[in-house]
Amino acid sequence: MSESRLPSSIEGHSIHDQPAHQNGCPVDPIEHAKAEKKLVRKIDFRLLPIMLITYGLQYYDKNTLSTAILYGMLDDLDLTETKNGVTYLTRYSTAAAAFYYGYIVAVLPMGLIFTRFPLAKTAFFFVLIWGIICILTVVVHSYRGFVVQRVFLGLAESAVSPAFVAITALWWKPQEQAKRLGIYYSSTGIFSMFTAIVNIGWGKTGGSHPWKSMYYFGGSFTIFWAILIYFIMPDSPLRPGRFFTEREKAILKRRFDEKSLWTISTAYQSLSTHRSVFGAKIINSWGYDSIRSTALMIPGGAMTVVTIWIFAYFADRYKNIRTILLSISTIPVIVGCLVVWQAPWHPRVGPLIGYYLVAAFGAPYVLLLSLATANTAGATKKGITTSAIFVGYVTGNIISSYLVFTQEKPIKYRSTWISVIVAMVFASCASLLLRYIYIKENKRRDALLDSSPSSSSRCDEPQSSQNDANDREKFEGTAIDGVPGLGDGMVYEDKTDKERMEFIYTY
């Protein structure tokens, strides 16, 4: 296939599940499988650290906002209002939500941008801009200025998630994706712990405005990381660059090739992300000082990592259980909310345990992403679908920014926990509904394919028609070390899963 004829970050799984053939017959399948397994490990070591750290830095920025309010930001930027002796955090909530206003405006265009431009170079550009905007937080001196800065930060950071979903869809097969999504998304837990440790240090040594030191560090690290992305991240399986041998490139080419419930379900799940905005403040309200409140966020990060890895492992290990796993993964979150809401706050061990259970919210989100990437075909549709998911994600985050009411402290932030419980129940029901829809659609497609005449032929039989020979030529090119390439005659068709009746949904 002529690489110049394809979009640089095009999606495609139309041929990667087909066995390698040369002259119509399998070529050394055992050796090919070994070589492919080795290649997948190489892809993992090349891409997953980049994705994990980049996504983690994004979470560092979000978590730092939660921590910074314990170290002077509220007063420095006038983020509180006092009425009738009651202090309200509405301004802080608006500033936190402003990030997602920028995000929601840009995320759909970002999804389309990453299907049309080189992934690595485009990711480098937006991560660099994000780092610069992040470090400029320290020059903001007012509430209004902070809101504006947060909007622009959201615009820049909206590129990260669509880029990584596109990368996951490009480089890994559907049954490989859940584990990889889980690994890089678990960075939310890893960096939650990292943020707490680093910011404890800045809280003690950061001068008269410790929160500014936190943003100096985060912004500088992000800028440095953007430069590394430029040099070490390959663009696509069709343009892997100097990182892969010719035989590996041939295997890469061979591997290359719903629904509104996604958006709604993600929006509901994202309501539980209040912990990244108000986590430190909630723990602080239980009577801990700023340093201890920050330190006590570390176990929550560990819970996020462990639950994501467990559910992602089983999602890839066993076929067609993802929707069931998604429902199961909401249970710890629901239990955690009930514990924080209903358990006595003295002793404080009860609400802490509940809070750590709520930190399991990352698992259902990862499972939802894995379902979306596996069940959407066509570069354009995949870009739109994943962007729609992040629109839902942003909507949930905007709402969650306003669901922690300081005046509800005497009733244990009741509205917060009720909203998360409702969100998890809805997400669980929606996943089971998707399961029903996909099973029914798969059966319909199987029936249609069974009723149509087969165009396949055996290797030891002559081809039945000139059309079969022509079709094979489209997929076969010059073999490299026994691995057939893709012929220049192949023309990429940006067909969706709806247009490809051979497409089978994963559930």
How many domains does one find in the chain?
1
Residue 6 Cα distances to 121, 164, 480, 494, angstroms: 17, 19, 21, 10
8 Å CB contact between 477 and 409: no
Task: Identify whether 33 is part of a domain.
Answer: no
List the CATH number of the domain containing 218: 1.20.1250.20
Give the pLDDT score at 370. Answer: 84
Task: Identify whether 469 is part of a domain.
Answer: no
Give the pLDDT score at 176. Answer: 87
H-type helices in 318-463, by residue range? 322-329, 331-342, 349-358, 362-374, 379-400, 414-451
Give the pLDDT score at 380. Answer: 63
Give me the mean pLDDT over the 293-304 stretch. Answer: 89
User: What distance in Å separates the CA atoms of residue 229 and residue 477, rounded to the nearest whole number?
Assistant: 32
Weakest-pLDDT range from 268-277, 418-427, 473-482: 473-482
Among 310, 422, 299, which Cα is nearest to 356's? 299
pTM score: 0.71
pLDDT bin (cut points 50, 70, 90) of residue 275 is low
User: What distance in Å separates the CA atoms of residue 435 and residue 429, rounded to the nearest whole number?
Assistant: 10
Residue with tokens 């129940």: 425
If phi > 0 it is left, if psi is from -120 to 50 it is alpha, else beta; for residue 67 that is: alpha
Task: Identify whether 99 is part of a domain.
Answer: yes
H-type helices in 69-142, by residue range? 73-76, 90-113, 119-135
Max Cα-Cα span within the chain: 88
Among 106, 132, 127, which Cα is nearest to 55's? 127
pLDDT bin (cut points 50, 70, 90) of residue 416 is confident
Asked whether residue 154 carries a pLDDT value surpassing 60, the answer given is yes
Asked whether residue 489 carries a pLDDT value surpassing 50, the answer given is no
Element (H, E) at 143: helix 143-157
pLDDT digits (tens, 9 = 90+) for 63-85: 899 889 899 999 999 999 988 88
Task: Identify whether 15 is part of a domain.
Answer: no
The residue ranking higher by pLDDT, 118 or 144, is: 144
Task: Identify whether 19 is part of a domain.
Answer: no
Give me the mean pLDDT over the 146-162 stretch. Answer: 93
Task: Identify whether 347 is part of a domain.
Answer: yes
Asked whether residue 291 carries a pLDDT value surpassing 80, the answer given is yes
Give the pLDDT score at 260. Answer: 54
The residue ranking higher by pLDDT, 244 or 398, is: 244
Task: Identify whether 464 is part of a domain.
Answer: no
Residue 54 Cα distances to 50, 109, 220, 366, angstroms: 6, 20, 13, 16
Give the pLDDT score at 272. Answer: 59
Assign 88 to helix, strand or coil: strand
Give me the mean pLDDT over the 430-447 stretch. Answer: 89
pLDDT digits (tens, 9 = 90+) for 318-374: 889 999 999 999 999 999 999 989 988 887 888 899 989 998 988 988 888 888 777
Beta bridge partners of 87: 82
% of the chain beyond a pLDDT of 90: 31
Task: Identify whether 479 is part of a domain.
Answer: no
Among 115, 8, 6, which Cα is nearest to 490's? 6
* Helices and strands in the chain, H and E counts: 21, 4
User: Could you count the other beta carbons within 10 Å of the beta carbon of residue 362?
Assistant: 28
Q: What is the pLDDT of the chain when averaged over all its residues?
A: 80
Asked whether residue 495 carries a pLDDT value surpassing 80, the answer given is no
pLDDT bin (cut points 50, 70, 90) of residue 204 is confident
pLDDT digits (tens, 9 = 90+) for 453-476: 654 443 343 333 344 334 433 434
Domain that holds residue 96: 47-240+258-445
Asked whether residue 128 carries a pLDDT value surpassing 90, the answer given is yes
User: Could you count the other beta carbons within 10 Å of the beta carbon of residue 431?
Assistant: 25
Give me the mean pLDDT over the 30-45 stretch. Answer: 89
Asked whether residue 136 carries a pLDDT value surpassing 50, the answer given is yes
Give the pLDDT score at 17. Answer: 43
Give the pLDDT score at 496. Answer: 65
